[in-house]
Amino acid sequence: MGLGPFARIPRRGLLRGGAMLAGMAFGVERSAAGGRGGDDASAAGHDMAGRHGRNRVVGTVDADRNGFDPMDFLTEFDTGIITTEPDGRQVREWTITAVDREVEIAPGVFFPAWTYNGRIPGPTLRCTEGERLRIRFLNAGSHPHTMHFHGIHSARMDGVPGAGEIRPGEAFTYEFAAEPFGCHLYHCHSIPLKRHIHKGLYGAFIVDPDPDRHPLAREDAASRRLGTPQNASWQELVMVMNGFDTNFDDENEFYAVNTIPFAYFDRPIRIDRSRPIRIYLINITEFDPINSLHVHANFFDYYDHGTTLTPTHRRIDTVMQCQAQRGIVELSFANHEPGLYMFHAHQTEFAELGWMSHFEVV
């Protein structure tokens, strides 16, 4: 408190012994100032005013101006274009451009972001294990950038300074096989790394298992692979847990899944309870050691990194991930009554700073 008369208040500690004196001397502070404090206040402040209990951001983000909508992002899979080489080999290709862009990361809050293709997270790249992948990367930004994929590739394709880092105006083509199958990510690996990541350069990279390679678990693999009849019954959602440090003090002001705080709170994600849910969950939160997902009133199977076809955790309702850790969550609301079911980070701080959401089970 900078105020002159308030400056004496820190001496409070010294005055604990004076409390008795206070009680007998005047009792004025009770009648004049107190008596309307704590208890009444809590009752009044807890007046719910909607299901958020007034824990919310004010206003809405203009998705049109941003050019991306967190609701669409959940189910948008960019499978690229399949081209055939002169030698007859098939290659899956994407073109990704790094651009500087001001993004409205919370209602009325504009962040000077660095993005892949103008959005945060970048496009969700999806392919099948064993495929040849080619990512043509252009840098239209103002700093050097890379695309570093979490996967198996050669040193030359690692997307780090000295191997695939490009300056503004340059281009680079990453080429490798899609391995291993799982729920992965890509991000910029230029230095300073922390800044390049939290400015927005990251995205999901999903490699579906090829059922032909898993004869003993063919059905499980097929259910994972986009486009199969087995996969069609699943409700698949991509959730990238992220945060934004808007004042650059190395601490996040906003937390979310898929960038926009509370995005799925007021606009819940609609779930058809007759169909199972698969969440591709990725943690790219900067500064904080871990992030987590907790689903209300339900338990799920979890496949750490998505690199197995049998769960690595069974029947859990909370899972934590360190930065860049990711996994696949499979759950069902088949036996639940319809209604709103919360899911959020179970670091309650993150939840109240934006990472708070609802499923609307119908």
Partner 1 sequence: MVRFVWLALPLLILAAIVAYVLGARPLDRIGAAAPPVEQVVVEGTRLRPGVIELGIRADGSQPIVIAQVQVDRAYRAFDIKPAGPVGRLDGARVTIPYPWIGGEAHHVVLVTSTGATFEHTVEVAQATPELDAGSLWQLAVIGLLLGVAPVATGMLAFPAMRGLSAGTFDFLLALTVGLLAYLFLDTLGEGLEAGSASLERLRGQTAVWVAAALTALGLFVAGRWRGAAPQGAALAGFIALGIGLHNLGEGLAVGGALSAGAGALATFLVVGFIIHNVTEGIGIAAPLVRATPPLSLFVLLAGLAGLPAVAGVWAGTQAPSPYWLALCFGVGAGAIFQVMVEVTALTVRKSGFVALGGLNYAGGVAAGLLVMYATALLV
Q: Give residues in contact with partner 1 (CB under 8 A).
A: 1-9, 11-12, 15-16, 18-19, 21-22, 25-26, 28-47, 49, 52, 54-59, 105-112, 244, 246-247, 249, 253, 261-262, 349, 352-354
In the complex with partner 1, which residue's Cβ is closer, 146 or 242? 242
Name the residue nearer to partner 1 (CB basis): 20 or 216: 20
| Residue nearer to partner 1 on the CB measure, 15 or 340 | 15
Closer CB to partner 1, 265 or 303, in the complex:
265
**Residue 355 CB, nearest approach to partner 1 (Å):** 11
Main-chain dihedrals φ then ψ at residue 185, nearest 5 degrees: -150, 165
Tell me the closest approach of the beta carbon of residue 222 to partner 1, in angstroms.
42
Q: Rg of the chain's alpha carbons, rounded to an integer? A: 25
Min separation Cβ 138 and partner 1, Å: 22
Return the number of the residue (124 or 357) whose C-beta is nearest partner 1: 357
Q: Which is nearer to partner 1, 47 or 87 (CB)?
A: 47
Q: How far is the CB of 18 from partner 1 (least distance, A)?
A: 5
Contacts of 212 (CB under 8 A, 6+ apart): 218
Residue 245 C-beta: closest distance to partner 1, Å: 8
Report in angstroms how near the CB of residue 319 gets to partner 1 at its nearest: 23
- Rounded to a whole number of angstroms, the minimum distance from the CB of residue 31 to partner 1 is 6
Residue closer to partner 1, measured from CB, 40 or 85: 40
